[in-house]
Amino acid sequence: MLPTSHQRLATGTAGLDKILNGGLLPGGIYIIVGPPGSGKTILASQFLLEGVKRGESGMLVALDEQPVQIRENLLPMFGPNFDKIFVLDATLEMKNYEVSPLRDVSITRHAEQFGQVFPEIPRSPETGNPELTISGIQEMIKSEIRINKIQRLVIDSATALRYFMMPGVDQNTFLQSFLRFLSDLEVTTVITIHEGDSPILDTTSIEYVMSRAVIRLHRWLHSSGFKLGLSVEKFRGSEHEEEIRRIKISPVGLQVIEKQPGSTGGS
Amino acid sequence: MLSHPKLNRVHTGIVGLDRMLEGGLLANRTYILAGDAGSGRSSICGHFLMEGVNKGEDVLYVTVDSPPADISSNLSSFKWDAGKIMILNAHPRVREFKVRGSLLEVTSQRSVGSLRDMDDKDKPVQPGTSADLSLPTLQLMLKKEFEGKSYQRLVIDSIISLKLLGGQDVQWELGINSILRLLMEEGVTTLIVSDTPKREEALRPEFLMAHGVIRTHRFVVNGKVYRGVFVEKIRGSGHDMQMRPFDITGKGVEVDSSKALMPAVLSQLSTRYPTP
């Protein structure tokens, strides 16, 4: 069940709720987009962690990285509460090039809490593994939301969804259908999108159009090293700050740096 | 409940780079080493493998874009005994004269040997034949090689020509994903060499899937060559946020993790990473 619309959801990132005029609005799709190493997964995890602290169930759909490795990466940063987040392994297994198995069976996996994740990378089956499909993933997400009463959902990353595209299906149609599926769920969803050295996602992108808000992470080279920043580019139905604010990633997480009097956020 | 995970660090063999990485690479993971031509990528790979050799590990150099003899002479210029680096020769020259066969037949043509034995014994190139190395072939070669031996360190140098031959569609992404999964399941720490993406390019799938990305630049200012290295992303670890100067000397690669690049050099680079 969604909280009523006047309630805001805390993002779990220090300084971000203020930029968002109090937090996220319940329901809908929020985008975190940025270059490698800018903190997308950390930001998304803090959203789930904040839910755990408030007694709301959260689930991360892992498309980029193995659950066991995500845990290795983030448990030192977030501590035992991280182990209460549910994770659904949506990573692809090794391809079997020797044989061409029939692809008519869709694989089924179940979400588990990070604390229960098997400590090793699962071995890919030697022969004829059934394939993970987009409809399989959708079914799994739906059923796990019901079983575990998920209120906060993260798709990390939406960029990796492309591996599940059927041949001959237009990429926009494919994405639109998946995003529509997400927005029909009664949960608040954060999806991460990867970019290279220059921004690709713009106001005409399907993800941009179908999302409630876009949080963009920035990285630029300054004489004292690479700097990281954050800006909210769009937030449908809410006021928000628009300027780019500096962020920092430390061993305890990602935070928005307080504005210094007289300085601009960008340099 | 699981125990608290402990991540082992793997030294790169370059002191300054290890400092930038806050102690080294995280073990059993795959990293992209992306850089400009002549920026020292293969030399960094050489250090990484020699460090393993010196610790008594089994290490494998998969050469795709240059013949093993070139790699060998490159490394021996540092006066290293590279004889314990095993090399998997995936350079197209060894296969160019053969009849095109199945993937399995192709993998059986692989040649693994010690780098010491790799003088210029390769067969001459047949004109008009094409290279047919692909990600599936590479995966099968690696899988076969892993059956007999377990490696702790691996270098794939590089995926540039593989990408040129077939890097446009979703098959490439699936192929990369699959190879990375194989390397993870094997528990080998891997460097994959790549080139610098064009500025306007979308993020490459291999950059997305790797556990980390290290980037090297080479540029000329007033007729002098400068090299810079920076750590773009390391999942699960903090890292230096500065671009550091590095040199290739007679002893190998040296990274000065206490210095910044000269302002004139930095300003050239800031057009690539501009202030938003």
pLDDT tens, position by position, B76-129: 778 787 788 888 888 765 444 444 333 333 333 445 666 555 544 444 443 433
**Residue B72 C-alpha from the chain's centroid:** 15
The pLDDT of residue A168 is 80
> How many angstroms separate the CA atoms of A79 and B243, rounded?
31
Whether the predicted pLDDT of A183 surpasses 90: yes
Whether the predicted pLDDT of B189 surpasses 70: yes
> How many angstroms separate the CA atoms of B37 and B34, rounded?
10
Which of A28, A74, A21 shows the shortest CA–CA distance to A52?
A74
Mean pLDDT of chain A: 90
To the nearest whole Å, the CA of B74 is away from the closest chain A CA by 31
Q: What is the ipTM of this complex?
A: 0.90
To the nearest whole Å, the CA of B189 is away from the closest chain A CA by 14
Which of A37, A45, A36, A54 shows the shortest CA–CA distance to A86?
A45
The pLDDT of residue A49 is 98
Structure tokens of B167? 């890097």
Kindly state the average pLDDT of the residues A174-198: 95
Owner of token pair 């980037």: B215
Interface touch B201/A197, C-beta < 8 Å: yes
Residue A88 is classified by DSSP as: E
The pLDDT of residue B96 is 43
3-state secondary structure of B87: strand
Per CB-CB distance under 8 Å, the chain B contacts of A160 are 208-209
Kindly state the average pLDDT of the residues A193-203: 92
| Contacts of A195 by beta carbon, 8 Å cutoff, 6+ apart | A33, A34, A35, A201, B202, B203
Give the number of other CB atoms < 10 A from CB of residue A129: 18
Interface touch B7/A72, C-beta < 8 Å: yes
Contact indicator for B225, B218 with CB cutoff of 8 Å: yes
Give the number of other CB atoms < 10 A from CB of residue B58: 16
Q: E strand or H helix at B79, and its extent?
A: none
Per CB-CB distance under 8 Å, the chain B contacts of A161 are none
Per CB-CB distance under 8 Å, the chain B contacts of A251 are 238
Interface touch A65/B204, C-beta < 8 Å: no
Contact indicator for A24, A238 with CB cutoff of 8 Å: no
Res. B7 pLDDT band, cuts 50 70 90: confident
Which of B35, B19, B11 shows the shortest CA–CA distance to B241?
B19
| Contacts of B77 by beta carbon, 8 Å cutoff, 6+ apart | B250
DSSP secondary structure string for all residues of B188-216: -EEEEEEEPPPTTPPPPHHHHHSSEEEEE
Whether the predicted pLDDT of B21 surpasses 60: yes
Q: Who among B136, B177, B232 is closest to A92 (CB)?
A: B177
Structure tokens of A215? 């949080």
What's the angle, vertex CA B133, arms to CA B129 and CA B139, rounded to 5?
Answer: 165
Contact indicator for B90, B63 with CB cutoff of 8 Å: yes
Contact indicator for B44, B38 with CB cutoff of 8 Å: no
Mean pLDDT of chain B: 83
The pLDDT of residue B66 is 81
Q: Which residue of B has its CA nearest to A227?
A: B241
Owner of token pair 């995926």: B159
The pLDDT of residue A3 is 54
SS3 helix, strand, coil % of chain A, rounded to 5?
30, 25, 45
Per CB-CB distance under 8 Å, the chain B contacts of A123 are 185
Res. B180 pLDDT band, cuts 50 70 90: very high
Whether the predicted pLDDT of A126 surpasses 90: no
- pTM of the predicted model as reported, rounded to 2 decimal places: 0.90
pLDDT tens, position by position, B130-178: 446 788 889 998 998 999 889 999 999 999 888 887 766 788 889 999 9
3-state secondary structure of A2: coil
Res. A7 pLDDT band, cuts 50 70 90: confident
> How many angstroms separate the CA atoms of B231 and A36, rounded?
10
> How many angstroms separate the CA atoms of A235 and A94, rounded?
39
Interface touch B269/A35, C-beta < 8 Å: no
Kindly state the average pLDDT of the residues A69-85: 96
Contact indicator for B61, B190 with CB cutoff of 8 Å: no
Per CB-CB distance under 8 Å, the chain B contacts of A73 are 235-237
To the nearest whole Å, the CA of B237 is away from the closest chain A CA by 7
Whether the predicted pLDDT of B1 surpasses 50: no
pLDDT tens, position by position, B201-257: 889 999 999 999 999 999 898 899 999 999 999 999 999 999 999 999 888 899 999
pLDDT tens, position by position, A19-67: 999 999 999 999 999 999 999 999 999 999 999 999 999 999 999 999 9
- Could you tell me the CA-to-CA distances from B126 to B114, B130, B132, B137 in Å, in that order? 25, 9, 14, 21
> How many angstroms separate the CA atoms of B16 and B256, rounded?
5
To the nearest whole Å, the CA of B59 is away from the closest chain A CA by 21
Q: Which of B181, B195, B214, B244 to mutate to test the interface with A (most CBs of A within 10 A)?
A: B181
- Could you tell me the CA-to-CA distances from B66 to A152, A254, B44, B122 in Å, in that order? 49, 42, 16, 12
> How many angstroms separate the CA atoms of B98 and B133, rounded?
13
Whether the predicted pLDDT of A99 surpasses 60: no
Q: Which of A69, A134, A193, A244 to mutate to test the interface with B (most CBs of B within 10 A)?
A: A69
Q: In the CATH hierarchy, which fold is given to the domain comprising B15-269?
A: Rossmann fold (3.40.50)
The pLDDT of residue B37 is 92
Whether the predicted pLDDT of B25 surpasses 50: yes
Residue contacts between A and B (CB atoms, under 8 Å): 155
- Could you tell me the CA-to-CA distances from A134 to A43, A137, A175 in Å, in that order? 25, 5, 11
Q: What is the CA radius of gyration of chain A?
A: 19
3-state secondary structure of B35: strand
Domain boundaries, chain B: 15-269
Q: In the CATH hierarchy, which fold is given to the domain comprising A26-217?
A: Rossmann fold (3.40.50)
